[in-house]
Amino acid sequence: MKPVLAGVVFPLILGSAALAQPAKGPAFYVVLNSLTKTCTVVDQTPKTDTPNITVASDTIYKTRAEAEGAIKTLKPCNQ
């Protein structure tokens, strides 16, 4: 009886977790190049192992325009 129960319950648990996640849409990030001291907008998750590139803000922007507007107000981008 246990194999049947595991065969039914386990897929239901996995399926419900997938449905609970929000739908992914476009995401934009502001990153800072510490060598050139410039910020840019990227549409992929910034990699943490890239030398001289850091995330300027923890915020994830929905549009490129929002991210470009944030560059003007972020402290690391305006030093």
pLDDT tens figures, 19-40: 444 557 889 999 999 899 899 9
Q: Could you tell me if residue 28 is inside a domain?
A: yes
- Domain assignment of residue 3, yes or no: no
Would residue 10 count as lying in a domain? no
Residue 23 to residue 65: CA distance in whole angstroms: 21
Report which residue type is found at 54. T
Domain membership of residue 42 (yes or no) is: yes
CB atoms within 10 A of CB 31: 21
Report which DSSP code applies to 25. Answer: -
Instruction: Give the residue numbers spanning the domain of 29.
Output: 24-78
Please check whether residue 13 lies inside any domain of the structure.
no
Any domain includes 5: no
Q: How many domains does the chain have?
A: 1
Which stretches in the chain have pLDDT values below 50? 5, 8-10, 12-14, 16-21
Rounded to an integer, what distance in angstroms lies between the CA atom of residue 39 and that of residue 34? 9
- Give me 29's structure tokens: 């990030």
Q: Report the predicted TM-score, pTM, of the whole model to 2 decimal places.
A: 0.64
Residue 6 lies in a domain: no
